[in-house]
């Protein structure tokens, strides 16, 4: 197992109230899996993604990443793991608007102390892989939604992570472009990457090899 959630619970304190986002979640994901997590808004699916992606910590339970318990790590340690092992693709792309496509893809490599020459070389190769090398000097507002998402995918691959997390990766795209993005994620999975997507769209979930449904903070079943 590359990822294991054991009896994971996540609570948020809102004033005098406690909101339970996840309750006793158990989930195991093997290296090379392509997993979809489906559920309505507020079901807890994005909370799972944030926990697996080392963006948050559980209130209770344990999360293992490559057999390392990350449940109680300091933020600096979580950031180091994120940089080395995890690529994150966001629904709203989250590109830096003042940077070009090339500079956006180069950015994660800077924190891994890769030389600027190698950063530029690798970013160029990644943009070529997503068929955007001819747009590398354009800023996000000069790119279509599909092009921005491809830049976001290239950025997620910048440090050659083993795990790709995609939170509603087609949510802001038309159907045709969304399916093109999913085809590309499928290719990455076939190359050995572990892919985990969060979606509310059954057609998008069909690209995965396994689908888990979550409702009211609990995993319901597996297809």
pLDDT tens for each residue of 158-183: 999 999 999 999 988 899 999 999 99
Reading the block at residue 3, the tokens are 């990822």
Handedness of CA 169, 204, 172, 14 (dihedral sign): negative
Q: Is 198 left (phi over 0), alpha (psi -120 to 50) or beta?
A: beta
What is the predicted pLDDT for the residue at 162?
93
Confidence of residue 210 (pLDDT cuts 50, 70, 90): very high
The yes-or-no verdict on residue 32 having pLDDT over 80 is yes
Contact between 35 and 210 under an 8 Å Cβ cutoff? The reply is yes
pLDDT tens for each residue of 127-159: 999 999 999 999 999 999 999 999 999 999 999
In 58-201, alpha helices (H): 75-85, 101-110, 116-129, 145-156, 175-190
The listed CATH number (3.30.70.260, 1.10.287.610, 3.40.50.300, 3.30.70.3040) that belongs to domain 32-57+72-222: 3.40.50.300
Q: Domain locations in the chain?
A: 32-57+72-222
């Amino acid at each position: 197992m590359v990822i294991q959630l054991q009896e994971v619970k996540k609570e948020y304190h809102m004033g005098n109230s406690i909101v339970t986002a996840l309750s006793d979640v158990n989930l195991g994901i093997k290296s090379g899996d392509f997993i979809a997590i489906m559920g309505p808004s507020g079901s807890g699916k994005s909370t799972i993604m944030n926990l697996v992606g080392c963006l948050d910590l559980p209130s209770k339970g344990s999360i293992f990443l490559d057999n390392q318990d990350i449940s109680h790590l300091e933020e600096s340690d979580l950031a180091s793991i994120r940089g080395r092992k995890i690529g994150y693709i966001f629904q709203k792309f989250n590109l830096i608007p003042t940077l070009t496509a090339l500079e956006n893809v180069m950015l994660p490599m800077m924190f891994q102390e890769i030389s600027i020459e190698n950063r530029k070389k690798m970013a160029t190769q990644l943009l070529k892989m997503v068929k955007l090398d001819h747009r590398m000097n354009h800023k996000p507002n000069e790119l279509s939604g599909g092009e921005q998402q491809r830049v976001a995918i290239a950025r997620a691959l910048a440090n050659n992570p083993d795990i790709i997390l995609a939170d509603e990766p087609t949510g802001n795209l038309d159907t045709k472009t969304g399916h093109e993005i999913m085809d590309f994620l499928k290719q990455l999975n076939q190359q050995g990457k572990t892919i985990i997507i969060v979606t509310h769209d059954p057609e998008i979930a069909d690209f995965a090899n396994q689908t888990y449904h979550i409702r009211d903070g609990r995993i319901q079943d597996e297809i």
